[in-house]
Amino acid sequence: MRYHFKYLWFRDRTEDVVFINHHAVRLRAGLMLLLPVYMITVLLTTVNASTWTVFTNGPMEETFELTEDLRVIFTVQAYKTAFDYTVPTWVLFYGLFEMLSGMFIKTAYLSPTVHLATYLTRNIPPKWEPLKPKRFAWLIGALLISSCLLFFNPDSFARFVNGVSGMELLPTTSNWMPFFIPLLVWVCFGLMWLEATFGWCLGCKLHWLLAKLGIFKRHCYDCMNVDFAEKAWIEERKRLEAELEQAQQK
């Protein structure tokens, strides 16, 4: 346990280019997959579900009017369901915390999923990969979660913005977020599933592309399929060959 709390999932925290354990990252993605699964359940039972419930034993009167597809319109008693998004909001805040905490060395020690994933993969030989591409991927995840937070709490954010600005910049009586925002939950699910199942990281691929374009200084080595064990062996072999050549010259 002393080793666990000293290194966590890092190879060496003092390195210029920090490396983390690939196996722990994949397992953490599998653990965090529970968050989008829960949010998908919330969407299917709230946003994508019917909000009106008709009293089956209540009075029903025919209006003698028809819809465009020639269906009879009735007057009924019904009530509209009001959904409470308090629990989903806290779940999203926790997901945002997990995304942000894993991006830095010190805050990673505050993440329960990092500790759990590292502990569960302690007996598997580590496979090291750079932290920076993962940090970029988790930043994308944090932006997606933030968008979902605004979608489920548009009035709270609107009141905050209007209060700070002193003007009514955002409406407080309607959802001003785009209608496609709930689809981001499915995007999060897909990205986490790919990471957990196949170890395929879209954010890392984007990081590699941006590095190749010169926007980032360092490339995503893992995305370029560099085998660090093989690379280390090649360097060691070159060193031994150089020593043999020097010995022969003497």
Helix axes 183-198, 202-212, angle to 10 degrees: 90
The residue to which tokens 């590292």 are assigned: 118
Can you give the pLDDT at residue 110?
92
**pLDDT top residue among 124 and 248:** 124
Report which secondary-structure segment, H or E, holds 138.
helix 131-152
* pLDDT at position 224 over 90: no
Q: How confident is the model at residue 107 (pLDDT cuts 50, 70, 90)?
A: very high
The residue to which tokens 């465009």 are assigned: 68
Q: Taking residues 45-67, what's their average pLDDT?
A: 75
Residue 4's contacts (CB-CB under 8 Å, 6 or more residues apart) are 115, 118, 119, 122
Mean pLDDT of the residues in the chain: 82
Can you give the pLDDT at residue 50?
67
- pLDDT tens track for 72-91: 887 877 777 677 788 888 99
Nearest to 17 by CA among 224, 217, 232: 217
Helix axes 34-45, 86-101, angle to 10 degrees: 150
Predicted TM-score (pTM) of the model is 0.74
